[in-house]
Structure 1
């Protein structure tokens, strides 16, 4: 093979090669490592001891904390998405119209998406502080409450975590909906206007049906991302108080990186690998169920 032909054939492979290397190092190898050690008792220091399915027996019979975190994940996911997705769609629809300063408003709403989740959560942690946080101070000064509310306490901690998640994710889904809206031909709206349809009728009769495939993808991405998210909750409450906000992947994180002796004395890599495998199955099952139901409903 001549040098010219080698360059023409090798170019695409050389461009893909770094991606393949990173995929092997940071995706395939960790998956293989986890698959191996979920059958072992391993803390990262002592020799790994093969224990067969004992980690799974412990998970399904002796670990109610994990299943409580699964329930919390469901509550967190439902509470976040039931508000974020409709609100993002409504805002995208409004900002897709010819209104004053719409690009500036788009940028402001999208801005939280580019910020660090840890930084955002730390700011909200200070804002929702029970005794010197700005939220309680404003509510007291307006006469809406008489005593500080424990926003990060047992009663309101999950609600606070959901509100922070909505604020952080709204701009991302707004942009995705905007992309879908801009793919809808304007001729449809012009024809509907000529026929006497108002904006509300256009929204439900044209926008929603035409957004079907795009909306299916956005909802799927939102479900997967929310089921796996834990960073903001880790900064806000660390899963507390009393496990009230401990979601599935935060529980998994604590098995590999114990945050305090009260949560876990040592790393539990073997058991954590088993928990991670079951968590991935749960996320995959929920996503698959959604895709099946959405495709079935679209064919009716």
Structure 2
């Protein structure tokens, strides 16, 4: 009580402001701890245990056995390769297409807002719904894609788009359609910040439209392009819904990706898999996958920083 009386009005005001700030931060801190920090700690803990969930007995300490199993798991490392294939295919198509659409929509004035809204619509669509739509479109027997290709005479018999030879291509097409509107919005924001004086100077000097785009607009979009590339790369590591709805990682694990491979040990998704979850092994797979994704992100950031220093 004596210490409270000896405080100056300025100190009392500072304490009051701090209490208000902490009261605003507390709900977020609780949610972060419960929804982010605790699951991470839980996952790291169960890497060292064999556990099948409630009703299967107490967790049994197995040391590094789960990690050793990951490094011997051929299917998992195939899923890593599929993830990189999927991510690379997504990036090389979605970035140029998003830039093209952004540049095109930025040129026209009439109906620009409506066109942007239509292009952005797939981004806010549920991934499960989008996967189901593309499943119906690319169905081998009564899908609309095969129907129109047959009617146009481009193919002589239906193509199994979800079979081993084409399933990954179908997943990439789905990912590009679902995400291009999001990256397009970023590009539009970047293009609108490009100096019109620089563009006019290039045209006065005789630069054509393609030269202006390549030598003036693209370099000025460097910072936003770096962010878009990072978002496209990192999103490829946790895309799971489309794969689950379209192929469930099949056929014969041909489209199994890292995120889905770990997920199915926590929540078995087909009758062919074990009916009892394997939390310990799923945790080990998740940790290794997180390390791989983090390593790729760090490498990308270092390479992009070196390119910034060069140019």
2:22 maps to 1:13: yes
Out of 254-263 and 160-169, give the one that drifted further.
254-263
1:166 lines up with 2:179 in the alignment: no
State the distance in 1 between where 2:59 and 2:249 align. Answer: 29
Alignment of 1:12-91 (within 5 A): 12-45=21-54, 46-61=57-72, 63-91=73-101
Q: How far, CA to CA, are the matches of 2:110 and 2:155 in structure 1?
A: 37
Judged with a 3 Å threshold, the aligned counterparts in structure 2 of structure 1 residues 109 and 4 are, in CA distance, closer, same or farther, namely same
The question of 1:208 aligning with 2:218 is answered yes
**SS of aligned partner of 2:52:** coil
State which structure, 1 or 2, has the greater radius of gyration over its C-alpha atoms: 2
Cα drift, residue 131 of structure 1: 0.9
1:119 deviation in Å?
0.2
> What is the correspondence of 1:1-300 to structure 2 with a 5 Å cutoff?
7-45=16-54, 46-61=57-72, 63-300=73-310
TM-score (norm 1): 0.95
Q: What are the ranges of 5 or more consecutive residues in structure 2 without an aligned counterpart? A: none
Tell whether the 8 Å contact from 1:254 to 1:264 is kept in structure 2 after alignment. no
State the shift of 1:7 in Å: 4.4
Tell me the CA shift for residue 57 of structure 1.
0.8
Q: 1:181, CA displacement in angstroms? A: 1.6
User: Which segment drifts farther, 202-211 or 114-123?
Assistant: 202-211
**1:245 partner SS:** coil
* Residues matched between the structures, number: 299
Deviation digits for residues 31-86 of structure 1 (CA, Å, limit 9, x no counterpart): 0001111000111132101110000111112x111001001101101111110011
Question: 1:170 offset after TM fit, Å?
Answer: 0.4
Q: Distance in 1 between matches of 2:158 and 2:151?
A: 11
1:147 shift after superposition = 1.2
Shift of 1:5: 5.5
Quick one: distance in 2 between partners of 1:216 and 1:261? 43
Q: Secondary structure at the match of 1:179?
A: helix
